[in-house]
């Protein structure tokens, strides 16, 4: 087994272990300078809510949250938004509606 450590940003540990991706390299431990907030589309939220509510076996709901890297608070907020009708409003296309053929003729 060999180990090589580099100094500074991009610190890497080149320990070769069978079965590990990237030849055993570990991710950079430094925190990115600007955190980015995740955003989810309305279609994704509805799909996850449907799947989450259909889960019946013990541990299935937790498995969905772990797989999608979500928290139960996401589900609570998305349910509130769905009940308020906010998710259906998000799925509408943005911008101006297309010009009606009759209006085009009048111009």
- The C-alpha atoms of residue 4 and residue 17 are separated, in whole angstroms, by 13
Per DSSP, 23 falls in state G
Please, are residues 86 and 63 in contact by the beta-carbon 8 Å criterion? no
How much is the pTM? 0.52
What would the pLDDT profile of 11-54 be if each residue is shown by its tens digit? 555 555 555 555 567 777 777 778 788 899 988 999 999 999 99
Rounded to 5°, angle at Cα 42 from 81 and 85: 35
> Domains of the chain: which residue ranges?
42-91
């Amino acid at each position: 087994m060999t180990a090589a450590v580099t100094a500074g940003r991009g610190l890497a540990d080149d320990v070769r272990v069978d079965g590990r991706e990237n030849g055993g390299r570990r991710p950079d431990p430094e925190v990115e300078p600007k955190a980015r907030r995740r955003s989810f589309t309305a279609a994704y939220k509805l799909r996850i809510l449907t799947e989450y509510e259909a889960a019946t076996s013990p541990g299935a709901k937790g498995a969905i949250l772990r797989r999608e890297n979500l928290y139960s608070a996401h589900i609570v907020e998305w349910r509130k938004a769905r009940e308020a009708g906010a998710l259906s409003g998000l799925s509408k296309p943005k911008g101006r509606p297309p010009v009606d053929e009759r209006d085009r003729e009048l111009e």
